[in-house]
Amino acid sequence: MSEPIKVVVTGAAGQIAYSLLYMIANGDVFGKNQKIILTLLDIPPMMGVLEGVVMELSDCAFTLLTEVIPTTDVAVAFKDVSVVFLVGAMPRREGMERKDLLSANVKIFKVQGEALNTYAKKDVKVLVVGNPANTNALICSHYAPSIPKENFTAMTRLDQNRACAQIAQKVGSDITKVKNLFIWGNHSATQFPDCSNGTVDGKPVTDLVDASYLENEFVTTVQKRGAAVIAARKMSSAMSAAKAAADHVRDWWIGTQSGNYVSMGVVTPKDNPYNVPEGIVFSFPVEIKNKQWSIVPGFKINDFARSKLDITTKELLEEKEEAMAVCNADAKI
Ligand SMILES: NC(=O)c1ccc[n+]([C@@H]2O[C@H](COP(=O)([O-])OP(=O)(O)OC[C@H]3O[C@@H](n4cnc5c(N)ncnc54)[C@H](O)[C@@H]3O)[C@@H](O)[C@H]2O)c1
């Protein structure tokens, strides 16, 4: 057994956290030999609900949980933390586009970035789930300048999982055989789910499924899947979002398998291989070794894909501008 690590989940009284906490405490993210101090952050009106979550975590009798700390205080939550799941935010309701949420949620991520800067370990790994996830991650990183930008990522793994599930169903395959479908750009309706490098059981997806489906119905189904779940459930995706958050952080912690890449929203470095502007949080195919991600170069981007990348880039640049205006800060990140 290794020394316990401190893990924080924000929005801990919410619906995604309700599924996610189980996976973390059960060893599905950090492995079955990693003890965990689990800190649960939420806002004061939710403390009663959070008390019930703490009771249930206790009643699960998880062997890996050494301590559970419910709190409303970011200083308590983020002190010496190793891994943070930033889930807490106002969720999208039926009929709302993610842009509508931006101004309310960006302020939360500014405060949390400042607190991480002051209290967290400098090698803390931060996953932003709360929407608009890419731009929230950017703001969080901006207000935590003492922590490397590489340590802030946004979740597009749910979109990747959705894309893999659609293709597996379309070709009648086991999902474990579907590889290297990627999400480019924003976790929003402008994201580009891309099959052009994907395979099913080693065969190119483009040989198995007709191009018109891949460029039209497939793209819009994945882009609008979150809205379809809201329309059906009257609440946003929770179980699948929690599973994707667990997948994202597990791969970051343990590493990706050779030749099997994953999608992550990361702060775009200068000179990235796909010519995306520097300084936005953009989803790329990445591989992870020794807890460090790197963008996988060399995937083909045809004219159709480039036009899709340009649309999602434009949206992210606009979101960045709006977010910085909300934060009333210098627009230079
Ligand atoms: N990136 C993705 O793929 C993805 C997928 C699904 C949902 N989401 C987003 O995840 C977020 C959470 O969704 P949910 O369904 O769990 O929502 P929820 O409303 O059930 O829970 C959100 C929780 O966050 C808490 N919260 C609000 N402000 C907070 C703050 N400042 N600090 C700590 N906690 C705070 C709320 O009190 C609530 O308990 C939403 O923004 C949703 O849009 C993202």
- Report d(CA 174, CA 38) in Å as an integer: 34
Number of domains in the chain: 2
Residue 275 and residue 148 share a domain: no
pLDDT, tens digit, for every residue of 247-303?
999 999 999 998 899 999 999 999 899 999 999 999 999 999 999 999 999 998 999
Please name the residue whose Cα sits nearest to atom 27 of ligand 1. Answer: 89
In short, whether 42's Cβ falls inside 6 Å of ligand 1 is yes
CA distances from 114 to 72, 130, 137, 278 (A): 16, 17, 12, 22
Instruction: Please report the DSSP string for 274-307 in residue order.
Output: T-PPTTSEEEEEEEEETTEEEEPP-----HHHHH
* Entry pTM: 0.96
Residue 143 and residue 183 share a domain: no
Cβ atoms within 10 Å of 33's Cβ, excluding its own: 9
Residue 171 and residue 56 share a domain: no
Q: Cα 232 vs. chain centroid, distance in angstroms?
A: 23
Which residues span the domain enclosing 80? 2-154
Q: Does the pLDDT of residue 333 top 50, yes or no? A: no
- Report CA torsion sign: 220, 273, 258, 36: negative
- Report d(CA 160, CA 59) in Å as an integer: 33
Residue 211 and residue 192 share a domain: yes
pLDDT at position 259, please?
A: 87
- Report d(CA 201, CA 210) in Å as an integer: 17
- Report d(CA 167, CA 259) in Å as an integer: 19
Residue 110 and residue 58 share a domain: yes
In short, whether 11's Cβ falls inside 6 Å of ligand 1 is yes
Please name the residue whose Cα sits nearest to atom 18 of ligand 1. Answer: 14
Please name the residue whose Cα sits nearest to atom 11 of ligand 1. Answer: 130
pLDDT at position 93, please?
A: 66
Nearest atom of ligand 1 to the alpha carbon of 98: 43
- Report d(CA 305, CA 108) in Å as an integer: 34
Q: Does the pLDDT of residue 1 top 80, yes or no? A: no
Percent of the chain predicted with pLDDT > 70: 95
Q: Does the pLDDT of residue 312 top 80, yes or no? A: yes
